[in-house]
Chain A
Amino acid sequence: MGYRIMVIDDEKIVGDMAKLSLEQEGYEVETFLNAEPALARLKEEKFHVVVTDYKMKGIDGMEVLRTVKRDYPDTTVIMITAFANLDAAIEALRGDVHDFFPKPVKIKELKSSIRRALIKENAVA
């Protein structure tokens, strides 16, 4: 199954490493350094999962979450953040985020989370 995953984080390494690891699982991965081109891309192509950083310059993670949930309700959003902050987590949860990972991220856990999300998506679909 050609599941497409989008990774948005202003740290280049995050995207690079995530791409390498996730492609091992057979996903198609596209990475972005900020949210604007990412959201534009979403208009062109369906993505099953969007992994986004919480705090970025310009459009931040919460806005990505809101946009995706509004325009692409089938798409799962997972947040990663340097902010280990309860308020941020609650805010994201209320925004219907699927999962929330404080940095440093354990890639294995990220993969599990993505897997669960896709199962859920398939079940719903």
Chain B
Amino acid sequence: MKIEKKLIISSVINAAFIVLVGIVGFQYMNLVLTKLRFVEIADDLNASFLEMRLSEKNYFLFHNKETLVEIQNKIEQTRKTLKIEGNDIVRAIGVSDLRGLEMRLTTYETAIILAQGRAPQDPALESSIRTAGRSLKEYSDSITQLERRRVNEIILGSKRFMLYSFWAILILSLLISHYISQKIVRSLRGIEAMTKSISGGNFNRIEGLQTKDELGAVVSAINSMSEELAHREEQIIQSKKLASLGILTAGVAHEITNPLNNISMIAQTYDEMYDKLEEQDRKSFMQRVEAETERIRKIVKNLLDFSKPKEAHPREADINTVIQKTLMLVQNMIDVSGIETSLQLHTDLPHVFVDEHQIEQVLVNLITNAVQAMSEGGWLVISSRSHNHGESVEIGVCDTGKGIPPEFVPHIFDPFFSTKGDGGTGLGLSVSYGIIKNHGGEIRVESKVGVGTTFTVELPKYSHQDRVNNGSESLSDRTQLNKELV
């Protein structure tokens, strides 16, 4: 669950960041609004104070007691305002500043009230009124200025904060998603390479991608699937071999009948004519029996060799020898089918480095397919020649059968592809393809409907590198080598 967890965590982190920034921004906003509200109020108050001071000046000029009353009313109003807007004011400037304002206001009021009770031109009174008034006004002004400045600072600050946090969030989320997606993409590329190589028939494990998360699970699933496929491939080879064994066994059984009949007839004659035979003849009979049993032994051995499951044990070989051996296996099938065979084997071919049994299996497959594609009177041509200036050897299996329709030709080597209802003899072309590929060779087909089909197998010539590598059974080195050469 690692990746899922990572994704969740990173989403949560991102969301948390955004929420945090949102909250801070919201707080800023609130603060600004509060200050602005106060500035609004303060403007009103300052306007009132200005009026008061104007009235004050008025009084000192005309000494009209009514002016004082006006001032007092204003002071009352101001008090009311301070009370009503008390909360907003406190929110902006704090309790102590509000008290400061109230105090100065009270002092001013006191001075005004005193003045109403006394004779107008009391200089001490006038001066105390002036002082109180000035103090009030100045105090209020300074608070207002301060708040204005604060508002500016706050706006600036929050602008900066917004900018930084925007970048921070952007970079953070880019980094996180980059990191996570890199991991995922890397694993996915590995998996892609792996599945490509598997579908190319190469069932190797992929190491180095075993992480403990979902992708690791996929990789190990693919690894075990790959092992399973490799097993299945072996099983398919075996079962196809067994199927072809059916046909070959019938052929072999037939081949054995003749030596058996020979032995039987010799024995019958020996028994019936024992007395009339000379000792030399009797001995000769027994020797001929022995020769026939040897014949049977070879036929059986051929069949047993074919049916053994084997790892590839390649060695230097002459391809014509392999072809001849294969023909022995299928001779009966060819005879029975009424098909004419023509052998066009070049001599002096370069040797090849092959597992003879596997190549025999491939040739049995190709010849069986050829024979089955033809009816009586068809021609089977088996040829061998050197190719590419002696760098490789080509084997041709050519028939005059019904041919392969062009839409099937590209699929002819696909596993499980069959144009006949799998009376499947031979190994199946997909297994043959795999065998030739493992030998570093190629297998090609040309076909025309109604005319015939030719399969060409190309095998690289034996090189001294093979002798060096011969300790290991690996033919895959050869595949690698040929890839480099080509």
Residues of A whose CB lies within 8 Å of any CB of B are 11, 13-14, 17-18, 20-21, 24, 55, 57, 82-83, 103-108
How far, in whole Å, are A119 and B368 apart by their CA atoms in the complex? 47
Give chain B interface residues in 251-298, CB to chain A under 8 Å. 254, 257-258, 260-266, 268-269, 272-273, 276, 288, 292
Cβ of A13 and Cβ of B273 under 8 Å apart?
no
Contact for A82 among B261, B272, B292, CB less than 8 A: B261
Interface residues of B, Cβ cutoff 8 Å to A: 254, 257-258, 260-266, 268-269, 272-273, 276, 288, 292, 335-336
Q: Is there an interface contact between A14 and B272, defined as CB atoms closer than 8 Å? A: no
- Please list the 6 inter-chain residue pairs (A to B) with the smallest Cβ-Cβ separation, ordered nearest first: A104-B264, A103-B261, A82-B257, A17-B265, A104-B261, A13-B262
Q: A11's closest neighbor in chain B, by CB? A: B258
Given contacts A11-B262, A13-B292, contact A103 B257 (CB under 8 A): yes
By beta carbon, the residue of chain B nearest A111 is: B272
- In Å, the complex CA distance between A5 and B292 comes to 26
B257 touches A17 (CB 8 A): no
When C-beta atoms are compared, the residue in chain A nearest to B285 turns out to be A17
Of A13, A21, A83, A103, the contact of B288 (CB 8 Å cutoff) = A13
Cβ contacts under 8 Å, A82 to chain B = 254, 257-258, 261
Smallest CB–CB gap between B54 and chain A, Å?
A: 138
Q: Across the interface, which residues of B come within 8 angstroms of A18, CB to CB?
A: 265
Q: Which has the most chain A C-beta neighbours within 10 Å: B261, B262, B335?
A: B261
- In the complex, how many angstroms separate the beta carbon of A11 from the nearest chain B beta carbon? 5
Given A21-B269, A103-B260, 4 more A-B residue pairs with CB atoms under 8 Å apart are A14-B262, A14-B265, A104-B263, A106-B264
Q: Which of A104, A105, A106, A108 has the most CB of B within 10 A?
A: A104
Residues in B neighbouring A21, C-beta threshold 8 A: 268-269, 272-273
Name the residue among B257, B263, B292 with the largest chain A CB count within 10 angstroms.
Answer: B257
Name which residue of chain B comes closest to A14, CB basis: B265
Could you name 30 residue pairs across A and B whose Cβ atoms are closer than 8 Å? A11-B258, A13-B265, A13-B292, A14-B262, A14-B265, A17-B262, A17-B268, A17-B269, A20-B273, A21-B269, A24-B272, A24-B273, A55-B336, A57-B335, A82-B254, A82-B257, A82-B258, A82-B261, A83-B254, A103-B257, A103-B258, A103-B261, A103-B264, A104-B257, A104-B261, A104-B265, A105-B261, A106-B264, A107-B265, A107-B269
B268/A11 in contact, CB under 8 A = no
A101, closest chain B residue (CB): B261
Q: Is the beta-carbon distance between B273 and A105 smaller than 8 angstroms?
A: no
CB–CB B292/A104 < 8 A:
no
Contacts of B261 in A (CB 8 A): 11, 14, 82, 103-105
Chain B proximity of A4: nearest CB distance (Å): 20
Complex CA gap A64/B272 in Å reads: 30
> Could you say which residues of chain B place their CB within 8 Å of the CB of A55?
335-336
A62 to B288, alpha carbons, bound, how many Å?
Answer: 29
Q: How far is the CB of B252 from chain A (nearest CB, A)?
A: 12
Are B254's CB and A105's CB within 8 A?
A: no
Q: Which chain A residue shows the least CB distance to B265?
A: A17
B263 to chain A, nearest CB (A): 8
**Contact A20 B260, CB 8 Å, known A13-B288, A13-B292:** no
- CB neighbours of B258 from chain A (8 A): 11, 82, 103
**Interchain nearest-CB distance for A45 vs B (Å):** 25
CA A57 to CA B341, docked complex, whole Å: 12
- By a CB distance below 8 angstroms, the chain B residues around A17 are 262, 265-266, 268-269
- The complex places the Cα of A112 from the Cα of B268 at a distance, in Å, of 15
Q: Nearest Cβ in chain A — how far from B460, in angstroms?
A: 37
Given A103-B260, A103-B261, A105-B261, A13-B266 contact (CB < 8 Å)? yes
CA distance A18 to B273 in the complex (A): 12
Chain A minimum-CB-distance residue to B288: A13
With both beta carbons as reference points, the residue of chain B lying nearest to A17 in the complex is identified as B265
Residue from A11, A20, A57, A106 with most neighbouring chain B CB atoms (10 Å)? A20
Pick the residue among A24, A83, A105 that contacts B265 (CB under 8 A): A105
Most buried by B among A57, A103, A106, A108: A103
For A103, the chain B residues whose CB sits under 8 A away are 257-258, 260-261, 264
The answer for the CA separation of A24 and B336 in the assembled complex, in Å, is 35
In the complex, what distance in Å separates the CA atom of A107 from the CA atom of B276?
Answer: 17
Give CA–CA (A11, B257) in the complex, Å.
11
Q: Which residues of B contact A14 (CB under 8 A)?
A: 261-262, 265
In the bound complex, what is the Cα–Cα distance between A57 and B265 (angstroms)? 22
What B residues does A11 contact at CB under 8 A?
258, 261-262
**Residues of A close to B257: CB separation below 8 A:** 82, 103-104
Chain A: minimal CB distance from B334 (Å): 11
A82 to B260, CA, bound (A): 10
Q: In whole Å, how far is B341's beta carbon from the nearest beta carbon of chain A? A: 11
Query: With A and B bound together, what is the CA distance between A17 and B266 in angstroms?
Result: 6
